[in-house]
Amino acid sequence: MDKMIKLIKNANVYAPEHLGLRDILICGNKITRIEENIEGYDDLPDVDVYDARGMIVAPGLIDLHVHVTGGGGEQGPSSRVPEIALSELLLNGVTTCVGMLGTDGTSRSLENLLSKCKALNEEGMTCYMLTGAYQYPSPNLTGSVIRDIMLIDECIGCKVAISDHRASNLSCDELIRLASDTRMGGLLSGKAGLLTMHVGLGRNMLNDVLYAIDHTEIPVKTFLPTHMGRNIPLVSQGVKLTELGGRIDITASDPAISDKSASEMIAYALRSGAAPESLTISSDGCGSQPRFNEKGECIGLDYTSPKVLLIELKNCVFKEEIPLETALMFLTCNPAKVIGKEGVKGCLQAGADADLVVLNEDLDIVHVMAKGVHAADQGTALLKGRFER
């Protein structure tokens, strides 16, 4: 499927709502029609036709939390995680991601992050970025968080860490000021204006966030706490945030690294009253997975991959018995709303970007399309970064 016009026939379409059997017409990088039967294109020489009979077609996945330039560093320079490759994202169904810095905002620079985001966009997928890092005051490129969001096309918000021994322990007033600047940058640029907050295991949890919402006029959706599946008390407090109209992001886990399942925490949040629309799942791809003892000493380190998103999607459906169209929301239309791209990303509808995944009945990836280009086929990357072998 490498021609400008593509017709996908007989697909079991999840948009992510279940539409049933549909044909999908793609022109360039956009979806132009989704109908029960699209005729008149099959015999044209400039049209690629693909029969998706027996297959599920869903939107390409959106990963809200990827350390595209690598994370880590908690055990010194040799523990810095490598940057991610384009093919690793696409082979795991990720067609849109948000890149950010993490613990290390010194040797990992925003200049490098911006360049990596531009590279991924040039190479075939869609990548946005957050300014800032764990540290406060927030590192930036143009002199302020507001200016970064306004003046850098790829920048849609800011990153900071709270309730973590690796964070700068910013005060509640400093959090309010940072959220205000992020909100203003979003308003002036027409972007999401998103403040993504790494939430650690600290006893303060989301208390400062809830205080800011209660004592200021900052919209609750400015705040996106992530890693919210660390334990039941934290996800329970996150449910309270969703009741105020907020959203929480739960980090997917690799069973080889962690026994904490995002799907279990998602199911718990739903049972506790969280609306499905308020939940997202991200991978923390190429972010470190350090293990600390009671003294705060790092005693082990690993890192994760976007492959965990499909693991958690399957767990949601097959273990937690969450309907597929609901489980897909956490990885498609919900994160699209978070980044201000509703109707463009994370959905299958006329006018949306032609980002999609083809899945078999076991929810394994068969094909991936990014920006209307066939990017992965049967586990083989068709789109690769310039220096990938």
**Are 177 and 53 in the same domain?**
no
Q: Which pLDDT score is estimated for 73?
A: 67
CA distance 361 to 355: 20
Please tell me whether residues 129 and 151 are part of one structural domain.
yes
Task: Give 267's pLDDT tier (boundaries 50, 70, 90).
Answer: very high
Rounded average pLDDT over 187-205? 97
User: Which residues form the domain of 10?
Assistant: 5-58+342-381
Backbone angles phi, psi at 242, to 5 degrees: -65, -30
User: Among the residues of 272-368, which ranges form H helices?
Assistant: 308-314, 324-329, 333-338
* Cα–Cα dist 149/142, whole Å: 9
In a domain, 389, yes or no: no
Report the CATH number that the domain containing residue 284 is assigned in CATH.
Answer: 3.20.20.140
Answer yes or no: is 288 within a domain.
yes
Q: Which of 284, 355, 362, 377 is catalytic?
A: 284
Q: Is residue 183 in a domain?
A: yes
pLDDT over threshold 60, residue 90? yes
**Residue 138 is assigned to a structural domain of this protein:** yes
> Is residue 127 over pLDDT 70?
yes
Distance CA 329, CA 266 (A): 12
pLDDT confidence of 262, banded at 50, 70, 90? very high
Confidence (pTM): 0.95
Please indicate, yes or no, whether residues 308 and 366 belong to a single structural domain of this protein.
no
Answer yes or no: do 79 and 15 share one domain. no
Mean pLDDT of the chain: 94
Same domain for 287 and 163?
yes
Domain-embedded: residue 14? yes
Residue 75, pLDDT > 80, answer no
The answer on pLDDT for 284 being more than 90 is: yes
Domains contained in the chain, number: 2
For residue 388, being part of any structural domain is answered with no
Mean pLDDT of 6-24: 98
Strands annotated E in the chain: 5-14, 18-27, 30-35, 47-51, 56-59, 61-66, 94-99, 126-132, 155-162, 194-199, 223-226, 248-251, 279-282, 288-292, 298-303, 356-359, 365-370, 373-377, 380-381
Provide the pLDDT for residue 86.
98
The per-residue pLDDT for 103 is: 86
Same domain? 363 vs 374: yes
CB distance 345 to 336 below 8 Å: yes
Whether the pLDDT of residue 347 is over 80: the answer is yes
Q: Could you confirm whether 259 is annotated as catalytic?
A: no
Contacting residues for 192 by C-beta, under 8 A, at least 6 apart? 156, 157, 186, 338, 339, 340
Give the domain CATH number at 355: 2.30.40.10
221 plus 357 within the same structural domain: no
- CA separation for the pair 173, 273 (Å, rounded): 30
CA 19 to chain centre: 24
pLDDT band at 232 (very low <50, low <70, confident <90, very high): very high
Residues 31 and 43 in one domain: yes
Which amino acid, one-letter code, is at 91?
L
**pLDDT recorded at residue 257:** 57
In a domain, 309, yes or no: yes
Buried b (16+ CB within 10 A) or exposed e, 222-240: bbbbbbbbbeeebbebbbe
Same domain, 116 and 210: yes
- Has residue 96 been placed in a domain? yes
Same domain, 302 and 188: yes
* Same-domain check for residues 100 and 190: yes
Q: Are 367 and 248 contained in the same domain?
A: no
Helices then strands, each counted (H, E), the chain: 10, 19
